[in-house]
């Protein structure tokens, strides 16, 4: 992603139902040209939006990225606020480290068991659910973590107790094992939200995990 330069705002023309298709096409093209002049990173932003605003079938995704792609397709530009938000997402994505699958990762504990764990947050991902059943699950966070042995642990949900966790920091937490999965040749342990907020620690202390059995995992 190139360094962005934004010039003073200029009013963009809007398409109208009173215009012919050809007239509206000219307006969109003129807006697109102006948008590129105002933003030195316009080409990179639009490429990023095209790559991340469509699903595997080529349809526009539901959610924020899809709505931006739909807007720029219809009108040829993005507002200053939309551009700033897209630029921030693109810059954050470019600085995220690649997560390499660990084929030596092992499943931890048993389903329904509570584990005391020390985990480093490798990646925090925000995803939009294209078919939410309820308003609150339209957005979901994935916390991809690892213990000192490289065993992958994942939390998926919207618990406020996890919200303050930061990538690259180590945390101590007690959580119930919800399930075991294997993805991309990597064994992953999915956990429920901890009963208490994870506590940041300076380093792994290397002590053995303590366990206690519970009847079932909670969300």
The per-residue pLDDT for range 142-164, each reduced to its tens digit, is 999 999 999 999 999 889 999 99
User: Which residue reads 């068991």 in tokens?
Assistant: 113
- pTM score > 0.85 for this model? no
Give the least confident one: 50-64, 100-114, 141-155, 167-181.
50-64
- Structural domain boundaries enclosing 137: 113-213
Coil, strand or helix at 116:
strand
Q: Is residue 193 part of a domain?
A: yes
Torsion of CA 198, 201, 206, 208, to 10 degrees: -30
Same domain, 204 and 141: yes
At residue 117, φ and ψ (nearest 5 deg) are -130, 155
Same domain, 91 and 129: no
Residue 207 sits in a domain of what CATH number?
2.40.50.110
Q: Provide the β-strand partners of residue 115.
A: 175, 211
Same domain, 132 and 166: yes
Same domain, 159 and 130: yes
Give the least confident one: 63-72, 167-176, 195-204, 206-215.
206-215
Same domain, 86 and 124: no
Same domain, 90 and 56: yes
Residues with Cβ within 8 Å of residue 5, at least 6 apart in sequence:
39, 40, 41
User: Which residue reads 């040829």 in tokens?
Assistant: 76
Residue 186 confidence (pLDDT): 93
* Domain count across the chain: 2
Residue 129 confidence (pLDDT): 63
Q: Is residue 29 part of a domain?
A: yes
CA–CA separation, 183 and 36 (whole Å): 41
Q: Please say whether the beta carbons of 40 and 2 come within 8 A.
A: yes
């Amino acid at each position: 992603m190139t360094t962005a330069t934004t010039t003073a705002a200029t009013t963009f023309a809007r398409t109208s139902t009173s215009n012919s298709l050809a007239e509206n096409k000219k307006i969109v093209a003129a807006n697109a040209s102006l948008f590129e002049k105002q933003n030195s990173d316009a080409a990179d932003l639009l490429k990023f939006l095209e790559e991340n605003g469509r699903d595997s079938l080529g349809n526009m995704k539901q959610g924020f990225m899809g709505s931006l792609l739909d807007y720029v397709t219809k009108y040829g530009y993005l507002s200053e606020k939309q551009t700033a938000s897209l630029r921030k997402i693109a810059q954050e994505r470019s600085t995220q480290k690649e997560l390499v699958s660990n084929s030596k990762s092992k499943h931890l504990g048993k389903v329904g068991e509570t584990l005391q764990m020390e985990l480093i947050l490798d990646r925090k991902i925000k995803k939009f659910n294209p078919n939410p059943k309820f308003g609150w699950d339209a957005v979901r966070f994935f916390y991809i973590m690892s213990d000192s042995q490289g065993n992958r642990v994942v939390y998926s949900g919207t618990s406020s107790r996890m919200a303050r966790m930061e990538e690259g920091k180590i945390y101590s937490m007690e959580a119930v094992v919800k399930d075991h999965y294997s993805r991309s040749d990597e064994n992953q342990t999915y956990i429920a939200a901890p009963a208490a907020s994870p506590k940041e620690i300076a380093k792994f202390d290397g002590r053995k995990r303590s366990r206690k059995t519970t009847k079932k995992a909670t969300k």
